[in-house]
Structure 1
Amino acid sequence: MKFYIVDDDISVVKVLENIIEYKNLGEVIGYSLSGEEGIKEILAKHPSIVIVDLLMPCKNGIEVVKAVKKIKSDIKFVMISQVSSKDMIAKAYNQGIEFFINKPINIIEVENVINNVKEKVEMHATLNSIKGMFKNLESNDTAASKKSEIAKIKYSLSKLGIIGEIGSKDIINICEYLIVKGDKHLNYKVSEMCKKLSNNPKAMEQRIRRAINKALNNIASLGIEDYMNDDFSTYSNLVFNFEDVKVQMDYIRGKNKSCGKISVKKFIEGLLIQNEIM
């Protein structure tokens, strides 16, 4: 992951550079001590993530974000400042920053924020790759149709934040089996399906359940952050029972000692239903 830093205080630049390199978060490909120079360098070098100070002479951090986002909308921004004004922070978020870090710099906070942004960058790349697959699957033959269906399944799993989980491959295999058979419902016990597709069915079922549990936790976390989010609205009812999502949200908040429950059957059937409406 490539980083660029814009701050008029060289000591802050060096602290951030040391944190990124010491924690193996990525590579700092450059820095600027002014907003105007920063804009030119960012557009020329195209880093994945820019860390920018809010208060700088000539051009402040918000102006830097606005100028770059007009041309390179995919670049992610993290803003740092001692400013505590809610209006200024809200204005920064409105211009497209991902996170706001308060000075003085805290190494743990910086590491956590950067890891979160890196995950967003990687997810965005995955989604773009999958969308690219959709555009290339224009053939009407059976093989192309199946690839398109699987691509949609992968897209949904990426939206649920589990495309990188080992269990997601098992989920895809089950969906592919059902798509080929023309089934829209999982008319088998999960254990029976795993026996059909794996030499180690118990391990396969465990992987699937772990992946779905993580998806439940991701959706519940998304609901806590933004209850009106489109993905939360879609998947909280589609692949889970909404009551279980609410239980999981309370568990994450520390209001409940029990986690929400999952149903492998509902999860897989929900993915197949979503395929039909995408």
Structure 2
Amino acid sequence: MLSFGIVDDDAVSRLMLQTIIEKGGLGEVVGTAGSGIEGEKVLLETTPDVVVIDLLMPDQDGIETIIRLKEQGFQGKYVMISQIENKEMIGKAYQAGVEYYIQKPINKIEVEAVLSKVNEQWKISRSLQEIRESLTKLNLLHTGLDQPRKKRTAREIMHQILMDLGIVGESGGRDVMDIIEHLTLHHKAAGIPPLKELYEITVRSHKVGQLDVDKECKAIEQRIRRTVNAALTNIASIGLTDYSNPKFEHYAPLYFEFQDVRLKMKEIDDQDKPEKGKVNIKKFLQVLYLEVMDRMKSEG
């Protein structure tokens, strides 16, 4: 069964689309969002097969959201939905990767017809993929050769970890990846250098003028702090829903202090009495560095 994500700033439209999809037996809605920026984050976390996305949204329009998702490796299919009839805008949407366009106001019959086509295409694509995989296995069996496994780069490994933590789209995600990539290339000890030193190295790698180094270091620290806090929030949310979730069991005790996770869970669960949880940036970067190095060794 197909999984769907819905991104539309109109709550009524989101509900109507979800009802049509699920009651019509077209698939399961695994994530919804009311804005482009929120949608980007939700879709990277839930990775639906198909995204139904509004063209015009106040913070980040549908086309920009699709482009950003593709840049971050998201591979779902896109269906655009909008009141806009401008051919130039619709053309840009198709160029960005949209496969179908649904005109608002929402018409149940049209939505079902379009998404049924998407469903059929997905089934055909999956069947072809299965055939290709079967032929590859038969060929390997016939030749007696094992398919060589491509060794992933540090950034590819980090991308997967940040996706698991739900922070690929966060502004500090790039800073984190720059720091860890530098450590994997130039640092061999188990411990990591002081944070200030890491921030300065990252700033200088961007070729920032001398007078701006301190200012940029503070900006990096703020971005990373927000990003690590977002990771803590995402993991705590998973723990509230399912304490035995593999992501929670792996990342919660490894990347964060136990008391910080508990405080964040309490904050999410009881918003009337929020607890001010904190994050340990150095521990987060230390663990991420060690895990990336460990995975690179195991794949090497």
TM-score by length of 1: 0.49
TM-score by length of 2: 0.45
Q: Which has the higher contact order (CA 8 A, sep 6+)?
A: 2
